[in-house]
Structure 1
Amino acid sequence: MDAKTALKYAEDHGARFVSLRFTDLVGAWHHLTFPIHELSESSFEDGFGFDASSLRGWASIHESDMLLVPDPSRFWMDPFAEEPTVCFIANVVDPITKEGYGLDPRSVAARAESYLRFTGIADTAYFGPEAEFFVFDSVRFYNEQNAAGYEVESDEGIWNSGRGSNGFESPNLGYRIRNKEGYVPVPPADSLSDLRSEIALTLESVGIQVECHHHEVATAGQCEIDFRFSTLLGTADNLQLFKYIVRNTAYRYGKAVTFMPKPIYGDNGSGMHCHQSLWKNEKPLFAGDGYAGLSDLARYYIGGLLKHAPAIVAFAAPTTNSYKRLVPGFEAPVNLAYSARNRSAAVRIPMFSQNPKQKRIEFRPPDPSCNPYLAFSAMLMAGLDGIQNRIDPGEPLDKDIYDLSPEELKDVPSLPGSLDDALSALEADHSFLLKGDVFTPQLIERWISYKREREVQPLRMRPHPLEFALYFDV
């Protein structure tokens, strides 16, 4: 796509405004909106000026002037705007150097793809995430000096005992909550099927191809909508748009969506298993005659993922809440092993098809709270480091790891147990991210300091409600 094509699209659809979408360091989407007459061919080179100093983790006030340069290859009409609005993904550009801003996550992903081509190993990295999420009927939370708490409500919650959020008995609700197995039930146990279908249709309308949607394992409104894989950068863009559409469609239904990994105690959390593969000259590189139909190159890629996984999860499982899902022996894989078909291993090799074009690996620790541009780039860089250094992942572990004893797992490394530990792992192991200037020391330092000062430390300093039950009468 070029600028002329993008402008013609806006004209054909009667756009009256243009919205430029970009992602802050932590991973939230932002936008600026301009009347459509402000958009011209030159806008795709000159960009639009804006103040970057008020965004989390970004520029200081003395260097706050930045440019938003729309990418003419990615545009759509906003399905939620009352006035016709054409949207573009924008790159954040330094107005002095005219280069991608070093702390812009999308520029990291672009450099990761460029570095991949530079290595000559492959020319394309495909990513396909499974971003799970919860749909709640209401959410309340508060954190005061003398009080703290939260409350989520879902008509599907097993705590309702047949009573809906409106306080009245509901025979359908009673049926739903008696079905305590959340995974892929039919309606009425799955009360969110129509909502997911509307989300799927809206995703299709903006160019995201949906492959499947279903209720997930957690009983209280957990959902999954799978969309087709794309390039690293394309998938990261699609995931940001995916979250936007999921949230806004649910909002129209009077519901609230969260992508935080563990919002409910005692039930499954939300992961984001990341399928990935490398291709060159339109040929898949992960297929071979080795274990599970893998090539040696794929095994080395796995070796890099497993070696650097403790540092990767500082980006791929980047919240304190992430480590309430990543708990040994429970729902999510924390042991750094690989296996065919085995969902208890950190790296799984799907075996649905023998077609070489479908041969891929699945990295299972990430969750949907991550910034996809940074998380995908970190995974790719780890895999490339594995290939460049021929890192052997060892023997596969074809057992249910959740059932193994500590003695049986003593030689199997595991992920960090907290965000602070993951940040320490990133401090100790990040040279693989600096290759090709994909990640910069400034970004890594800013990420670590932001996470510790804004998330780890505030949580560490606050009493937890459970502590009152445990310790008030000590």
Structure 2
Amino acid sequence: MTLSEVAALIREKGIRYLMISFVEMNGISRAKLVPAETLEAVAAEGVGFAGFAAGDLGQGPHDPDIMAIPDFSSLHVLPWQREVAWLASNLYVNGEQWPYCPRTILMRVLEKASARGYRLMAGMEPEFFLVRRENGSIAPFDPLDNSAKPCYNQQALTRNLDFVTRLVDSMNELGWGVYQCDHEDANCQFEINWQYSDVLDQCDRLTFARFLIRSLAEQQGLTATFMPKPFKNLTGNGCHYHLSLWDAGGRTNLFLDRNNSHGLSQTAYWFIGGLLKHARALAAITSPTVNSYKRLVTRPTTSGATWAPVYITYGGNNRSVMIRIPGPGRIEKRTVDGAANPYLAAAAILAAGMDGIENRIDPGPPFEENTYAYTVEELLGRGIRVLPSNLNEALDELEADEVLREALGSDYLLLYLQVKRKEWDEYHSTVSDWEIERYLTVG
């Protein structure tokens, strides 16, 4: 979208303000609001931020301003306040692309893939809880939503029709093509699905979707959380990535081969091989918090399954494996969770898959059984690896992975490891209520 087209759209829609937004390492959105009359200046120079104050962006308090220059193709009018338009941005310092910008990192990986004739398409499926705060903690907001197996519960969905239909209507107003929304496998948990598109657009949509969902929840006095594991006994929040690789022009799905097993091409199987090879290092990006690894466990929840595979496997339409093949021409990466930075996760996944293609990595035979029916020891005995059991273990794997180091950039990887190891150390040094109850009278 050109500057003149954006100006015309602003006049047509009556937009008075622009929300210039970007995400930092942890996927947290930062923004400034500027009058629409400043459009030309914003397009030319961007909007300035004190980078040190805006999260983990590789800056100190002495550094020059970070300038957020919006991508006009990402423009979304706020459905609940139509005089405001939101725009995703890339970060610059002193006129140069800032290498600590997650969106810029993804674009760099996409450029390398494009030079090889590839374009990644994606569809993302965020899960979230609606909760209320009570007694310093949280609880599912609807006391009637208490079934042990609540997935697809019609009555629970009906009680939330006002919220759900407002969400669907808002996204469809933006042209996203929502095709389903459901009550998920935990109490007061929901998922929404929209049409797939270019992966950069999908990351922008997911970033905006989190903003939209939280805003609609707050209007009802609720909190929407994408936290991977907010409740010990309930299924956690995933964000499955459906992926297909196309030619650079976006005309031919290079993953599709209806004459081959599961309707996937050899290129797709090599891509899967790359994801399997780098799975343990990828976890540090796609499951990026201490809390993420409380979702990635082998024991079931009260519903009977975690729906978060921890075994490094792939298979057909099998939700117990890490990479599912839901239909011809696409795969589903099931271990991305609600805390993942969309841009970093997509960049790391694409880099791993491209390594698989370039080195023709054989993924081996698919696993078509129920992984939950086996013990860890039984699967390890069959040569199946398991994902890291905690964030610290995942960070060690990431540090040793040269492919992901190159994709993210050495300096960014160093910062990422520093930030996340500090997070692990803070968690590890915290004394929990569980420890008090367990060890207070020991010895």
Normalising by the residue count of structure 1, what TM-score does the alignment of the two structures yield?
0.87
Q: Deviations over 1:431-453 (max 9, x none)?
A: 21354xx4211111101100111
**What is the root-mean-square deviation of aligned Cα atoms in Å?**
1.7
Residue 154 of structure 1 is matched in structure 2 by 141
Contact 1:329 1:401 in 2 (8 A): no
Q: From 424, 430, 439, give the equivalent of 1:462.
A: 430
Q: Deviations over 1:32-74 (max 9, x none)?
A: 111222222x532322232212122121223231211121212
Residue 38 of structure 2 is matched in structure 1 by 38
**2:21 is the alignment partner of 1:14:** no
Q: Deviations over 1:381-415 (max 9, x none)?
A: 00000000011111111110110133431210110
**2:319 is the alignment partner of 1:350:** no
2-structure distance, mates of 1:138, 1:43: 39
Amino acid at match of 1:419: L
2-structure distance, mates of 1:260, 1:465: 20
Task: Output aligned runs, 1:7-406, within 5 Å.
Answer: 7-40=7-40, 42-58=41-57, 59-81=59-81, 84-95=83-94, 98-120=95-117, 122=118, 124-138=119-133, 141=136, 150-156=137-143, 173=144, 176-177=145-146, 179-188=147-156, 190-219=158-187, 221-280=188-247, 281=249, 282-288=251-257, 289-330=259-300, 331=306, 332-351=308-327, 359-406=329-376
**2:420 is the alignment partner of 1:433:** no
Q: Deviations over 1:18-43 (max 9, x none)?
A: 21011112111111111222222x53
Q: Secondary structure in 2 aligned to 1:375? A: helix
Q: Secondary structure in 1 aligned to 2:66? A: strand
**2:400 is the alignment partner of 1:420:** no
Residue 168 of structure 1 is matched in structure 2 by none
CA drift of 1:188 comes to 4.7
1-structure distance, mates of 2:160, 2:135: 21
CA drift of 1:208 comes to 2.5
2-structure distance, mates of 1:38, 1:434: 39
CA drift of 1:276 comes to 0.4
Amino acid at match of 1:414: V
Q: Deviations over 1:64-86 (max 9, x none)?
A: 312111212121222344x8222
Q: Secondary structure in 2 aligned to 1:207? A: coil
2-structure distance, mates of 1:326, 1:301: 23
CA drift of 1:151 comes to 3.5
1-structure distance, mates of 2:392, 2:434: 21
**After TM superposition, what 4+ stretches of structure 1 lie above 4 angstroms from structure 2?**
none
Q: Deviations over 1:84-111 (max 9, x none)?
A: 222222211122xx33210111101111
2-structure distance, mates of 1:466, 1:84: 49
Contact 1:187 1:193 in 2 (8 A): no
The 1:422–1:434 alpha-carbon spacing in structure 2 relative to 1, beyond 3 Å, is closer
2-structure distance, mates of 1:416, 1:12: 51
1-structure distance, mates of 2:362, 2:282: 18
CA drift of 1:264 comes to 0.8
| Total equivalences in the alignment | 430
Contact 2:120 2:198 in 1 (8 A): yes
1-structure distance, mates of 2:439, 2:244: 50
1-structure distance, mates of 2:181, 2:68: 34
Contact 1:20 1:90 in 2 (8 A): yes
Q: Secondary structure in 1 aligned to 2:179? A: strand
Which stretch of the first structure deviates more once superposed, 18-27 or 366-375? 18-27
1-structure distance, mates of 2:237, 2:104: 27
Residue 303 of structure 2 is matched in structure 1 by none
Residue 165 of structure 1 is matched in structure 2 by none
Q: Secondary structure in 2 aligned to 1:394? A: coil
CA drift of 1:154 comes to 2.4
2-structure distance, mates of 1:334, 1:88: 36
Contact 1:184 1:190 in 2 (8 A): no
CA drift of 1:139 comes to 5.1
Contact 2:405 2:413 in 1 (8 A): no
Q: Deviations over 1:197-241 (max 9, x none)?
A: 11111122233221100100112x000011111111110000000
Amino acid at match of 2:229: K
Q: Runs of 5+ in structure 1 lacking a partner? A: 142-149, 157-172
Q: Deviations over 1:240-270 (max 9, x none)?
A: 0000110000111111110001111111111
CA drift of 1:189 comes to 6.3
2-structure distance, mates of 1:191, 1:316: 33
The 1:389–1:201 alpha-carbon spacing in structure 2 relative to 1, beyond 3 Å, is same
1-structure distance, mates of 2:71, 2:8: 15
Amino acid at match of 2:142: D
2-structure distance, mates of 1:293, 1:471: 54
Q: Runs of 5+ in structure 2 lacking a partner? A: 301-305
The 1:140–1:67 alpha-carbon spacing in structure 2 relative to 1, beyond 3 Å, is farther
Q: Deviations over 1:306-362 (max 9, x none)?
A: 1101111111010111100100243120111110011111111013xx5xxxx2011
2-structure distance, mates of 1:34, 1:231: 28
2-structure distance, mates of 1:180, 1:105: 39
2-structure distance, mates of 1:87, 1:272: 22
2-structure distance, mates of 1:321, 1:434: 24
Q: Secondary structure in 2 aligned to 1:376? A: helix
Contact 1:109 1:232 in 2 (8 A): no
Normalising by the residue count of structure 2, what TM-score does the alignment of the two structures yield?
0.93
1-structure distance, mates of 2:236, 2:441: 32
